[in-house]
Amino acid sequence: MAVYTPVSAEEFAALLARYNLGELRSAKGIAEGVENSNFLVETDRARFVLTLYERRVDEADLPFFLQLLDHLADRGLPVARGLRDRGGRQVQRVAGRLGCLFPFLPGVSPTKPTPAQAQAAGATLAALRREAAGFPGERANDLGPPGWAALAARCGERLDEIAPGLRAQVDEEVAFLLARWPAELPRGVIHADLFPDNVLMLGDTVTGVIDFYFACTEVFAYDLVVSHAAWCFALDGRGFDPAVSAALLDGYGALAIAERAALPLLARGACLRFLLTRAWDWLHTPADALVTRKDPLAYLRRLDFYAANEQWIAA
């Protein structure tokens, strides 16, 4: 559920006047992305998405994100690049927020991905890796291994309000993973949040990859396990689907031997990351709020699965 910064017709028109994109015809807040406000803006010539950056996006990171999108769009990946106004500016100030206007991408996010869709997503992840390898920008992963212990400590004893014993399990898992985390795998810029929500598809074709605002410099194979955990289970973390898993891995293609060996551990780390951020949000959103709190335990179930079934990678 997105929170919207309200934008008036006059503000949309004033924004469009900075470009040569036609006259405003329609503008509607859309339920896309979790952290930012998004609007579908239509002129007499084309459609666009206006993203206004909300609390979790740091202004200092915007050049990294927009340069990454330029880099990937230049290389033919289905991403929307930030449009430049007549003065060459990508970042705009709209309704008191920083924002950027993007071309509209067709497609609908899969809700229950099929193997064919997972195969296409895996191929897209591999293409992102291939093309991001030449991108010079860097951004630390503040939700990566060095941040887990701190995030777990911030949740503290209240983790046991979510499930009895959760704090102890989290502390053990943090210690387990930090002691074994692979140091030498190939690294570069990854999407880091390629859930089905962030992939637009028509049939089995990926028509858009969106919401790069967790993109960061990380082990490349970590991007694959984030997506594996998101694509291969039911939302509640049950019902591992071996066919979707095999298709996603097949679409991604060859991995170095060390990468393949590390996947079970990386997958546990990805689950811990989403478990911790969801736990934090869970503990700081009232139970009776009219927003859907994402269940942290859905990622505990995935973590338990990966810990108990290291052979998933061979499935």
Give the residues lining the site for a copy of itself (CB under 8 A): 1, 3-4, 6, 8-10, 12, 24-32, 40, 42, 104, 106-112, 200-202, 285-286, 288-291
- Is 254 or 290 the residue whose CB approaches a copy of itself more closely? 290
Question: Which residues are bridge partners to 38 per DSSP?
Answer: 30, 51
Give min distance, CB of 79 to a copy of itself, in A: 16
CA pair distance 143, 255, nearest whole angstrom: 24
- Is 12 or 212 the residue whose CB approaches a copy of itself more closely? 12
Give min distance, CB of 45 to a copy of itself, in A: 13
- Is 13 or 258 the residue whose CB approaches a copy of itself more closely? 13
Give min distance, CB of 142 to a copy of itself, in A: 23
Give min distance, CB of 216 to a copy of itself, in A: 26
Q: Is the dihedral of CA 170, 175, 179, 183 positive or negative?
A: positive
- Is 32 or 131 the residue whose CB approaches a copy of itself more closely? 32
CA pair distance 132, 266, nearest whole angstrom: 20
Residue 30, both tokens: 């859309």
- Is 9 or 17 the residue whose CB approaches a copy of itself more closely? 9
- Is 79 or 192 the residue whose CB approaches a copy of itself more closely? 79
CA pair distance 143, 156, nearest whole angstrom: 17
Give min distance, CB of 25 to a copy of itself, in A: 5
Question: Which residues are bridge partners to 293 per DSSP?
Answer: none
Nearest C-alpha neighbor of 129 from the set 265, 251, 231, 246: 251
Give min distance, CB of 219 to a copy of itself, in A: 31
**H/E run at residue 72:** helix 62-74
**H/E run at residue 174:** helix 166-180
Residues 6+ apart with CB under 8 A from 63: none
